Chains A and B, each alone.
Chain A
Amino acid sequence: MSSESPGFFRQLPSALPGLVLIIVTMMVIRIWIEPWMAHTKIFGMSKPLTDAFHLNYILLGIISGMFYRNIVFGGKIPDMLVDGFRLSRLMIKVGIILLGSLYTFSAIIKLGFTAIALISAFVVLTVLMVLWLGKAFGLDRSMTAVLANALSICGVSAAVATSPAVEAKASHVAYAIATILGFGVLTMFLSPYIGHELGLTNMQYGAWIGTGILNTGQVLASALAFDPQAGPGTALAVAEVWNVMRVIAIPFAVFAVTFWYWAGKDAVDSKGNRQSLGSLLVEKFPVFVIGFMAMVFLTSMGAFGDVGVESGHSPSAAIMSLRVTMQWIFGFGLVGLGGFIDFDELRQAGGAPFRLGLLVGATKYIVALLIVLLLKQYFV
């Protein structure tokens, strides 16, 4: 244990300057920049920053943090601000727990056995593929662990949720996010075209992209590009429910990858400090995922009122407030996270994480389409 640590509450006052910078940055992004992007026209294109580049408060937050560190502060966060930035992981964990308010168990049960089995198989096989390829590509174990969950589940939130449990650097998360978003932009434009060419129904198309596209936002955009309608039975509704199933897998995948990371780490670092797998599990279990599960459970039990997914009604006031709070806290955490992304580190990592991400992403995208085509009769 780090007896030299002054402790959370004693360090809290020194975190205020950095925290104020983070909060003000996110307020500027959400109150001024996002609305401006939603209405702006560039070279005759309407809102290209949100539609074509999918810039939102999450990405702008990370970019702001990177900008502060690498441009404004010349490569290192000043001592006066660094304690505030050190709150980023705490805020991200709070955001992940609140994320549970978006999902219910009943939405998953409604999917049916075939869909649950297919999505689960994709999650497990993608994790295994990334862990295997990570070794083949010579990637750092933390980087591999973050990529495994980012590519198998739902991109950004999975990458962020996994990072604290596997000692990932901010640059690992940045790489995973950049890979997911880069691949996602490509699939977002390609998928509606392929879907229409193959004559897929809304159900088939939703099942494909809900499995094959990595990021939640891009699943939504691809579904709306295929069929702009939003209601029960549309591509959007199908894709989002399939996507929910993947998100629900976050705690299990974080647990599994954390276990893999520490089990291997123990074997590598065995300098007389060996631990049994049992004690590793107890010591390294990411407790915050229990919070996420508890949140899903409470939401499923109706503790916060109508979720608004299945009923078609608007979500309750409590659910809406929880989601808004989650967005803000995520936003703060990601500005802080961006502040730990060092351009030099990104350069040092080279292109291997991108190559691995593209290989796995493309495989998953194509195999998901082939399976949906093979099982067409189940998705009508």
Chain B
Amino acid sequence: MANEDKYGVNGASDAEMGNKASLFKDDRAEDIGAIIITVIIVVAIVLLKK
């Protein structure tokens, strides 16, 4: 992402907590990952509790 380097300004933890704080390539990918994981959790719970 074009905005990655700005996290280098204020020290190490900034770099860690910006987009670098994620294992995903960007926020959108992380959002979609979160939705997919939630769907798996919800489906598993609904099936198990039926």
A→B interface (CB under 8 Å)? 1-2, 5, 7-8, 11-12, 15, 76-77, 82-83, 85-90, 93-94, 97-98, 164-165, 167-171, 273, 283-284, 286-288, 290-291, 295, 303-304, 316-318, 321-322, 325, 340-342, 344-345, 348
New contact pairs (15) apart from A167-B19, A170-B17, CB-CB < 8 Å? A2-B26, A5-B24, A77-B16, A86-B21, A89-B21, A89-B30, A90-B24, A93-B34, A94-B37, A98-B41, A169-B13, A317-B49, A345-B10, A345-B11, A348-B10
Residue of A with least CB distance to B1: A2
Q: Which of B13, B19, B37 contacts A2 (CB 8 A)?
A: B19
Enumerate chain A residues within 8 angstroms of B27, measured Cβ to Cβ.
Answer: 164-165, 284, 286
The reply on B33 being an interface residue by CB < 8 A is yes
- Chain B residue, CB-CB nearest to A325: B41
Given A1-B25, A86-B23, A345-B10, the answer on whether A288 and B34 have CB atoms closer than 8 Å is yes
Supply 26 A–B pairs (Cβ within 8 Å), ascending by A: A2-B1, A8-B25, A76-B13, A82-B16, A86-B16, A86-B21, A86-B23, A87-B23, A88-B21, A89-B21, A90-B24, A90-B33, A93-B30, A93-B31, A98-B38, A98-B41, A169-B14, A169-B18, A170-B13, A286-B31, A291-B35, A295-B42, A316-B49, A321-B48, A322-B41, A345-B10
Contacts of B37 in A (CB 8 A): 90, 94
The answer to whether A273 and B2 touch across the interface, beta carbons within 8 angstroms, is yes
Q: Are B35 and A288 in contact (CB under 8 A)?
A: yes
B38 / chain A contacts, CB cutoff of 8 Å:
94, 97-98, 291, 295
Which 10 interchain pairs have the tightest Cβ spacing? A93-B34, A287-B31, A342-B13, A288-B31, A318-B49, A97-B38, A5-B25, A317-B49, A291-B35, A340-B17
**A273 proximity list for chain B (CB < 8 A):** 2
Secondary structure type dominating chain B contacts:
helix
A109 to B8, CA, bound (A): 47
Query: Are A340 and B13 in contact, with the CB atoms below 8 A?
Result: yes
The interface residues of chain A, by DSSP majority, are classed as: helix
A342 and B25: CB pair below 8 A? no
Question: How many residues of chain B are within 8 Å of chain A by beta carbon?
Answer: 37
Query: Provided the pairs A288-B35, A291-B35 are in contact, do residues A2 and B25 lie with their beta carbons within 8 angstroms?
Result: yes
Q: A1-B1, A98-B41 are in contact. Are A12 and B31 (CB under 8 A)?
A: no
Question: Do A322 and B42 contact each other (CB < 8 Å), given the known contacts A86-B21, A169-B17?
Answer: yes
Question: Cβ of A291 and Cβ of B26 under 8 Å apart?
Answer: no
Known: A340-B16, A344-B11, A345-B13. A94 touches B41 (CB 8 A): yes
A272, chain B: closest CB distance, angstroms: 12
Q: Choose from A11, A77, A322 the contact partner of B45 (Cβ within 8 Å).
A: A322
CA distance A87 to B11 in the complex (A): 20
Min CB–CB distance A78 → chain B (angstroms): 12
Residues of B within 8 A of A171 (CB): 13
- Cα distance A12–B33 when bound, in Å? 13
Give A65 Cβ to nearest chain B Cβ, in Å: 12
One of A11, A287, A303, A304 near B28 (C-beta < 8 A): A287
CB distance from B22 to the nearest CB of A (A): 5
Q: What CA separation (Å) do A89 and B31 show in the bound complex?
A: 9
Give A325 to B45 CA distance when docked, in angstroms.
9
